[in-house]
Amino acid sequence: LLGLAFKLFDPEHLLGKTESLGITLCLLPADHPGVEIGQRHFPLNQAFLNGPTQGDNVFIPLDWVIGGKAGVGQGWRMLMACLAAGRGISLPALSTGLAKLCYRTSGAYAAIREQFHVPIGQFEGIQASLARIAGYTFLLESMRTVTAGIVDLGVHSSVISAIAKYHCTELGRFVMNETMDIHGGKAIMMGPNNYLARAYESVPISITVEGANIMTRNLLIFGQGVVRCHPYLLNEIQSKNADEFEQPFLGHLQSLFSVKIRLLFHLVTGKYFFRLGSSKLCQRHRRVLCQLSFVSLCLRLMTETALLVMGGALKRKEPLAARIGGVVSHLLRAACVIRYAETHQDIREFDALTAWSLQVCAHRSADALWAYWGNFPRPWLGRIVRRFWFPLGKPEYCPSDALDAVLAKDTMKTSDAREILSAYTYGVMEQEASPTAINTLERAFVLHAVVTPTWKKIAEALKAAGLWSA
């Protein structure tokens, strides 16, 4: 089938009085008379199923229009719905699949690849990279699962899908770069055993959708959400008289006053008395969740202040809008992590991954708050707010080296967490009769764990006999 979007005109008024009916979508057979399918696109050495298409005197029955006669002129709405679904499902899925490949192969490669007779996974620098790969893969899987579930419920949120697209593709790019560093020359030399190079080449494709992530970060996330996601602002704008304006305006003032009082209370009491969930998971991570709850209050107040000072010009202040959008995004990421972790509480390794991910979200959101007020158009106000919100300076919630080591060691051994976070990785489950490069690496990883104890005894004996220098 060929999907076609076109502007429909009806000069003979067969469908009504209107001549220009607007963008319309249809499905037609690719071998339909008059249709000419050109060569497929080949972006960055990746096979695509689309390409240039032409047609000459192509007859399309009205039944082939998506939605029939009622779907005429509804193409733009359909395209936007598909775009929202694509941002919320396909692009996060692509990035998560890439991260799963990186997570599985990096752990295996770091466990069996030796330098100076030591597996490279025992070097602390490699462990830091492995921890980031594992942590971001966990975060990606969390976001993919939750946002796909939201779309499955029939909710087409342009803001959530934009956040998912931007952060998933960026995290996928970061994980890919870390993986290339760990693999070194194995990922550089092209050949049948290089399972990373083509994936590495493909990374910019999903990022470039919708004008690359620059537009998504600076315009879409906050620009689309600031009005429609605000509980009162849209009703205030759409009110036609004083009576319609009064109720949302009073609610707006009451809500803003409540936020200020709560923010002041939590600042005085050390941000510890937030009401969190009663689950063991929330209690284990109470400190960082309290910080994230405080950031949520700050977000509400900073948005109101920005709208009051800059008004509609805020959308044109792209770096500032991007920082507010960053706070929103990191809070959503943390919510996805909590939701995903709650559904996998029986996986022991997930507790460390949850702690790592939440700390990263808290750290990045505090960074965005700090940078926002440092660049506020009223510098004096920015300095006052920063000193008031963060009297002890910018809070640091970076994961510790010890936590990085825990994640890295879990990555380099077989476990339920490893199987879940790399489920459906292509090539892992292939038959030995026609093994893929990934399958060969996987079998070497399993056998390495079996022979390592014996090999250590042999190495010690050789060293004792003076036959092998360390």
- So which residues are the catalytic ones? 210
**Do 221 and 325 touch, CB atoms closer than 8 A?**
yes
> 418 phi and psi, to 5 degrees?
-65, -40
Beta bridge partners of 36: 54
- What would the two tokens of residue 342 be? 């709650």
Nearest alpha-carbon partner for 101 in 182, 188, 191, 4: 182
Cα separation of 237 and 228, whole Å? 11
Distances (CA, A) of 33 to 56, 58, 60: 9, 7, 10
Cα separation of 119 and 111, whole Å? 6
Q: What b/e sequence results for 260-281 when a residue is b if at least 16 CB atoms lie within 10 Å of its CB, and e otherwise?
A: eebbeebeeeebeebebeeeeb
State the amino acid at position 235 in one-letter form.
Answer: N
Cα separation of 163 and 225, whole Å? 11
